Amino acid sequence: MQQAKENIFNSSDSVRSAGPLKHAHSVTFSKPFVLSGSHELPEITIVYETFGTLNERKDNAVLICHALSGDSHVAAHDESDDPGWWDLLIGPGKSIDTNKYFVICPNILGGCRGTTGPDSIDPRTGLRYGMSFPTITVEDMVDVQKKLIEDHLGISRLLAVIGGSLGGLMALVWGIRYPDKLLCSIPIAATAHLTSQSLAFDIVARNAIMSDPHFHGGQYYDSGQVPATGLAIARMLGHITYLSLESMRQKFGDARNKGRHLKTAFETKFSVGSYLAHQGDKFVERFDANSYLTLSMALDTFELGENQEKLIQNMRKSMCRWLMLSFSSDWLFPPFQTKELADAALVSDKRVSYCNIESDCGHDAFLLHNELDVYGAMIRDFLKNVYRDSIRKNGVSVSSEPEEEIHFPKPPKHRIDFDRILDLIPAKTKILDLGCGKGDLLARLKESGHERLVGLEIEEDLILHCIEKGLDVIQADLNEGLRFFSDQQFDFVVLSKTLQTVHNVELVVEEMLRVGTRAIVSFPNFGYYRFRAELDQKGCVPQIDPRPGRHWYNLNDVRFLTIRDFQEFCKEKKYRIHQQVSLDTERGIVVEEDPNINADVAIMVISR
């Protein structure tokens, strides 16, 4: 195994010096390993680390996939150990709790930390591979991991595969390529393929490495010099793309002209320049240029579907539950790309949750503490729920598992409108809830044993509540429509007390009726007698939102309608109203007489 001089992961400026990977195991498979191209490798060595204990049922194994410049040292093994690159998330009592789960992290194929890569000796020649190392793909990296998991560790099914960036691509491939080998997958900051912009940066980085005069066509190992300038420039470029406009402003904006004095051949006039020079130089000490070329080319040729149709075909193969996370300021693998993956899973009726976490930290956010409260909690709760469900399904008593209890927040106060909505929906149906909030209605539908439930919500903290409840929830803005669902994908689409907050009412209702056989819309009735009286007698706009401190000038509501307005809207649009339930929620009763006067809430079941 190669000696590590240093261990900086991906980015963040924590330059931590690491000794050798002292807790790492190594296994060598001596038979030829066939790659997804026509090539093969005569043998494969895999270096990996494990944390926690594999239980007797072997159902608690979590595979962590590292990013381009990471390694197997994902967490510290004990207090005296070097820090791991995801210590934030992995360890006893942490989100990925090593008291409970058996965590495995192998070095990836093509890297330079022990697993077979361009700097390994080719047993056929006795020389290092160098540029003769074959072109590899993300699928090859996953195949190698599967060999370790199944053939060496004897685990037939993983509880979870988790990874960010390149690691996220591996998590995707696991779900699609080996559908029955994992229960859930958590790709973070992942994509079906790189944007042309991100691809372009990789190309410039490779051009810098390969045009370095010390590159010698990749056979520099015995020349006494490595293509240090090219590799450092590649790393500098990488660092810019891992950060964000805002995080760079925070890091360097105030001390722009305060460059540090460094022993370096690169420019140090500006503070950001000395940072880049430092990161570039340090990277050269610990990373192999051929590995960089090999891995970045695997990233660049990665393709889960050059259009949405092909992506859907791929996602359709998966059987696991998905949690997909992106970060708002990530411009290397921008959030819309992760959302496209979630969309492809949704339209294929896969169980998926998605959240674009608000962050200034760019692509590297998943390695940093800033948004740990959000992504850490989402990963923890999602994993807990998947594990709990799997144990239940297999008839294992939950009480035999320590720490299985999920803390549910207090149940919401009784909602008569929810009662009626539940009554309106036949058993075993597929239901989409738009603006699902904390998931209270979905939780009640789940208890009633419905077949398939999906929630859409825009607020991050509400999404977290849904994930905690084990629900499938997608972050989305209703005003943009529901194009990620196919026609008539659901039996019912529910819009519960949300219509009045939607700008684009026509689009939303039209979309509900496209993706659902029936739509259920509930809304506050502006025609309620008390509201009329407020306007007519007091000369004030009705206080339609009863919460204290709410006034005409600070409501979330932007649309106001009466039951009659909605009826006329349906007439105008040629929608059929199948059922109307009118409620006086203040008195907790169903209203039969003059609902446009006597009801403060209406529930409508409509179709095209």
Q: Which stretch binds a second copy (CB under 8 A): 38-46, 61-69, 398-406, 545-553?
A: 545-553
Sort strands 452-457 and 430-434 into parallel, antiparallel or unpaired.
parallel
Q: Which stretch binds a second copy (CB under 8 A): 51-59, 485-493, 532-540, 578-586?
A: 532-540
- Cβ partners under 8 Å of residue 257, min gap 6: 269, 270, 271
Q: Which of residues 190-219 bind a second copy (CB under 8 A)?
A: 193, 195-197, 199-201, 203-204, 206-208, 210-211, 213
Q: Helix-strand-coil percent breakdown of the chain, rounded to 5?
A: 35, 20, 45
Q: Which of residues 316-355 bind a second copy (CB under 8 A)?
A: 331, 334
Q: Which of residues 467-526 bind a second copy (CB under 8 A)?
A: 503, 505-506, 526
d(CA 412, CA 50): 42
**Cβ at position 330, least distance to a second copy in Å:** 12
Buried/exposed code over 19-38 (b: 16+ C-beta within 10 A; e: otherwise) = eebebbbebebeeebebeee
Can residue 1 be called a binding residue for a second copy (CB under 8 A)?
no
**Cβ at position 306, least distance to a second copy in Å:** 7
Let me know if 348 is a catalytic residue.
no
- Tally of CB atoms within 10 A around 324: 26
341 is written with which tokens?
């993956």
Please answer whether residues 493 and 432 qualify as being in contact, where contact means their C-beta atoms are separated by less than 8 angstroms: yes
- Cβ partners under 8 Å of residue 110, min gap 6: 116, 117, 118, 133, 136, 140, 141, 291, 294, 295, 298
Q: Which of residues 136-195 bind a second copy (CB under 8 A)?
A: 193, 195
6: left (phi over 0), alpha (psi -120 to 50) or beta: beta
**Considering beta carbons, is residue 315 or 508 the nearer one to a second copy?**
508
- Tally of CB atoms within 10 A around 312: 18
**Cβ at position 547, least distance to a second copy in Å:** 16
Can residue 245 be called a binding residue for a second copy (CB under 8 A)?
yes
Can residue 300 be called a binding residue for a second copy (CB under 8 A)?
yes
**Considering beta carbons, is residue 236 or 601 the nearer one to a second copy?**
236
Q: Which residue has the tokens 């720490």?
A: 403
Select from 112, 183, 233, 471 the one that contacts a second copy (CB under 8 A): 233
**Cβ at position 80, least distance to a second copy in Å:** 37
**Considering beta carbons, is residue 277 or 434 the nearer one to a second copy?**
277
Q: Which member of 330, 360, 433, 440 is catalytic? A: 330
Pattern 553-582, a second copy, x by CB under 8 A: xxx--xxxxxxxx--xx-------------
DSSP 303: -
Number of residues that bind a second copy (CB under 8 A): 72
Q: Which member of 363, 440, 491, 557 is catalytic? A: 363
**Considering beta carbons, is residue 81 or 534 the nearer one to a second copy?**
534
Q: Taking each helix axis as running N to C, give the angle between helix 460-468 and helix 372-393, from 0 to 180 degrees, rounded to the nearest 10.
A: 20
Please answer whether residues 103 and 75 qualify as being in contact, where contact means their C-beta atoms are separated by less than 8 angstroms: yes
Q: Which member of 69, 72, 165, 274 is catalytic? A: 165
Let me know if 363 is a catalytic residue.
yes
**Radius of gyration of the chain, Cα coordinates, nearest whole angstrom:** 28
Q: Which of residues 255-274 bind a second copy (CB under 8 A)?
A: 256, 265-267, 270, 272-273
Please answer whether residues 115 and 1 qualify as being in contact, where contact means their C-beta atoms are separated by less than 8 angstroms: no
Select from 417, 422, 597, 608 the one that contacts a second copy (CB under 8 A): 597
Catalytic residue annotation: 165, 330, 363
